[in-house]
Amino acid sequence: MPIKFRHHDGLRLFVEIAQYPSFSDAAAALNMTKGAISYQIKTLEDDLRLTLFQRSSRGVTLTESGSQLLAIGQRHFHSIERALIALKGMSTQSLTVGVSTYFAARWLSPLLMSFLETHSDIQLRIQPMIKLFDLERQGIDIAIRWGNGDWTDAEITPFMPMPAFPVGNRAAAEAVRTQGIEQAFASFTLLRDHDDSNAWSDWFDATNLPRQTRRDTLIIPDPNVRVQAVIDGQGVALMDDLSQSEISEEKLFRLSDQDLSTYGYFLAVPRSKSPSAALDAFVDWIRLQQ
């Protein structure tokens, strides 16, 4: 007897939720409550008689059944989208690139004309993003992410190594000089890019400084806002060489020689994304710009 699957909307929601490390992050991005997210997933699990997520205090991870269903769902919805594009006669020679405004303004923007001059047949769209997750839902063909490459929601390839190091304003630099790095950092507010970031933990481990459970953290996803917050004395942040202008002008000060050498920028392509000439052309071009 064929299975009568009644929760196609739930499957679509599941595919979107699975891109996030926690139901809280998914709820914020999808403009839903965490309770509504949990209810929808529980309803889908009950209907399928499968456990799709492993819940823990740190968030959620997909079970083996969840991973398999995610792959099936992504292929299913991608096939529908491709069929609709074909029916509408839309051109496939277009590409949407997701980047932070920080990276776009400080590195990518000055180079774009060279791509357009050599690929005039490709319509390029730069999509500013603060949280570089949920690429498929936002229509992103490829994103450029900063971090250590430890993501599971997309195909990740290294692009441009750029170690992260702690920066502060003049007062923070003076505190490190007079108090010593351990005492000074015990008093600093740590600015983070998102609530599940391990960057500060990785840095404390690299410096052999004691890692403490901190409540005095401030989450600022936009790197440009984070830079300004450091200048304004709101805390210290892990930044990279793209903030060199502020360092040269002594608006920011490097607080330690220790950096996160494995961090940098990575290319992220949604797992459901089919190969295309436009995507290949952009990847080949951007790798030549380093």
Residue 49 falls in which region: left (phi positive, over 0), alpha (psi -120 to 50) or beta: left
- Residue 1: its pLDDT value, please? 41
How many whole angstroms from its chain centre is CA 46? 31
Cα separation, 39 vs 32, whole angstroms: 11
Same fold for the domain at 8-88 and the one at 165-254? no
Q: Per residue of the chain (290 residues), what is the pLDDT tens digit?
A: 445 566 677 888 888 888 888 888 888 878 888 888 898 899 888 888 899 999 888 788 999 998 999 888 888 877 777 676 666 555 547 899 999 999 999 999 999 999 988 888 888 999 888 766 678 777 889 999 998 988 877 899 999 999 999 999 999 999 999 999 999 999 999 999 876 678 999 999 999 988 766 666 788 888 999 999 999 999 999 999 999 999 999 999 999 999 999 999 999 998 878 788 899 999 999 999 98
- For domain 94-161+264-287, the question of CATH label 3.80.30.20 is answered with no
Residue 130 three-state SS: coil
Cα separation, 163 vs 287, whole angstroms: 18
Task: Phi first, then psi: give them for residue 102, nearest 5 degrees.
Answer: -60, -50
Each domain of the chain, given as residue ranges in start order, spans 8-88, 94-161+264-287, 165-254
Inter-axis angle of helices 23-30 and 8-17, to 10 degrees? 110
Interval 4-18: pLDDT, tens = 566 677 888 888 888
Domain 8-88 belongs to what architecture?
A: Orthogonal Bundle (1.10)
Cα separation, 263 vs 18, whole angstroms: 24
Under CATH, which number does the domain 165-254 receive?
3.40.190.10
Residue 233 and residue 169 in contact, taking contact as beta carbons nearer than 8 Å: yes
Q: What letter would DSSP give residue 168?
A: E
Looking at the DSSP bridge assignments, the partners of residue 168 are: 253
Q: Is the pTM of this model over 0.75?
A: no
Residue 78 three-state SS: helix
